[in-house]
Chains A and B, each alone.
Chain A
């Protein structure tokens, strides 16, 4: 069983690519929040002025260190059809269920926020980013046991996405295949949330 935690959104968006980062920095300089922060640091040493964008990018790097598998599991757990396996009367504990998902698409959006600090004091407005990820999964078979997703078998997966700050796109990815292990193991298993948890987190739409 190969490790499925190596692939994160950093690799998804080619964050380590120098050209991509340079383009992202240039796009970041054009945002209003960056200009405002630079204006506040106009009297600071030039070394600090030139370091703001780099510092933001380094912090964004931490925000994008999200395993892609987490995006998949977060989406699967929102599937309404899985909550039936929580009924012990119908699905005893010793039974194993292979729940097959056909071709489906997963949309995930999360919004990290950053704050520039100068001498331990916040300066300027918060930097808010919008990370959009869209994954197309050909098929997925979830092994469920005792109300927990133990492992999953994946078909072909492809994805596209973007990282935006205000209206500026810092990083973008076209629809390309994603190399994931065929079988994902989740150790002790991912618990299928009860219906009330589903209402708090997301809205699921089923065909």
Chain B
């Protein structure tokens, strides 16, 4: 019996040890091994990069240095590097890994103090994807590991879907808006997605207006980016969102249907929530060919209600409280009850179909926003007006620097330099000329050579005053004696 137990003990111990070794090995395999290191070299336009190989298992410092030396230099010899755009560089890594059949995972290393260019470590198959960790850089070699699904060749690329769930609200969410009509998407209460979030329209729109609300106590700066159908940012702006509990509108407008997606980000994840998004196209397309899930409700209740007049809304002008949806509510009730009609905390959105999580309680789900009937807002029932100009009326940074200031500063610096140069030149000239003097040793007048020549004899007349002409004098006599005559 004891031997049997001893045997069982040793078997269990061996199993534990093997399990541990396998776990480490799995971690090692899950970690993957680097087979290519690429430097993300900024080249060309703002969002253009070139992936340059700089090593295989590790970064070759010589190759990396060559890449850095090939960068443009400033007057002071430093490398001119673009402002760091981590999202763009991550996209470059993701693209490079997707293009390489051997790549199953990649690690992105941010630029640091001693490393002006970020690098991507392409790794082989990674069975266990690591969590997304976008940490603050500590300028040591702290890599950021981004998980990716294994790439299978000859397989159609899957649509990019980001998991959204209440448990991971702070991740960057992507919401696809399938509608091809002008409309509005609303979110109720806790269903409102928080920033960072991207609304992608399957059909580009001309105007997109989001209703955002701050969740904290302080006002929040929200960045708004408009992307075209290719995913390139063509408009970037921002606005302050006051923490008054009201929804504030953020508008992006173009002349034509150019907006493929709208991205809202904040410094702190979840600082703002998006209660809804309105979108309008300049040229409304036909109705959808494929019916959506709630087609009857949508067809019956949906009206091509144009959004209200686009207005620039700053934090000082919060939206009024939402009105009760009367007409649409009635229409919706007559046609068909909305499925999974969950009660909404906020009264104005009670009778409107909103985006909601599945009822099966699954934590992860893909959210696709169908067309929700627009609210019966009498004020908002206005015809759509074509956007006359191609001006995107987004808020601008409150502290906009006047364009004349750099010119004035440059002119002032030029005047100062010229004045200083002139003053220096004047002083230099004066000091230099003071070194040279000319002394008059003699003017020659002390020993002049003077001669007088005449051909005629001199003559003279002598005048003798015999009596002075006073008041009491009887007469004044003047005797003139020519030269040679007796007096």
User: Chain A interface (Cβ within 8 Å of chain B)?
Assistant: 45, 47-48, 51-52, 55-56, 58-59, 62-63, 66, 70-71, 74-76, 78-79, 81, 91-92, 94-120, 126, 129, 131, 201-207
Contact = CB atoms under 8 A, between A and B. Distances in A.
A95 B463 contact: yes
Contacts of B445: 66, 70, 110
18 contacts: A62-B440, A66-B443, A71-B450, A74-B448, A92-B464, A94-B464, A95-B463, A98-B461, A100-B459, A105-B452, A108-B449, A113-B441, A114-B440, A114-B441, A117-B436, A118-B435, A119-B435, A131-B444
Nearest to B451: A107
Contacts of A79: 452, 458
Contacts of B439: 59, 114-115, 117
Nearest to B465: A94
A106 B438 CA distance: 31
Ranked 10 nearest A-B pairs via Cβ: A102-B456, A110-B444, A104-B454, A59-B438, A113-B441, A96-B463, A110-B448, A109-B449, A111-B444, A55-B438
B432 interface: yes
Nearest to A117: B437
Contact of A51 (B436, B455, B458): B436
Nearest to A115: B439
Contact of B460 (A99, A108, A120): A99
Grouping DSSP codes into helix (H, G, I), strand (E, B) and loop, the A interface class, with mixed when no group exceeds half, is mixed
B407 to A, nearest CB: 36
Contacts of B450: 71, 74-75, 78, 106-109, 201-202
Contacts of A100: 458-461
A193 to B, nearest CB: 12
Interface in B158-208: none
Interface of B: 429, 432-433, 435-445, 447-465
B114 to A, nearest CB: 49
A36 B457 CA distance: 51
A59 B440 contact: yes
Given A98-B461, A101-B454, A103-B456, A56 B449 contact: no
Contacts of B452: 75-76, 78-79, 104-107, 204-205
Given A107-B452, A111-B444, 14 more contacts: A51-B436, A59-B440, A66-B443, A71-B450, A78-B450, A95-B463, A95-B464, A109-B450, A110-B449, A114-B440, A115-B441, A201-B448, A205-B452, A207-B456
A205 B451 contact: yes
B460 A48 contact: no
A55 B459 CA distance: 48
A4 B337 CA distance: 126
Contacts of B438: 55-56, 58-59, 114-117
Nearest to B459: A100
B449 A48 contact: no
Nearest to B452: A75
Contacts of B457: 102, 207
A70 B447 CA distance: 13
Contacts of A103: 454-456
Contacts of B447: 110, 201
Contacts of A115: 438-439, 441
Contacts of A204: 451-452
Nearest to B429: A47
Given A66-B445, A98-B461, A100-B460, A48 B436 contact: yes
B6 to A, nearest CB: 106
A45 B462 contact: no
B443 A102 contact: no
A96 B451 contact: no
Nearest to A129: B444
Nearest to A98: B461
Contacts of B461: 97-98, 100
Contacts of B454: 101-105, 206-207
A103 B457 CA distance: 9
B453 A118 contact: no
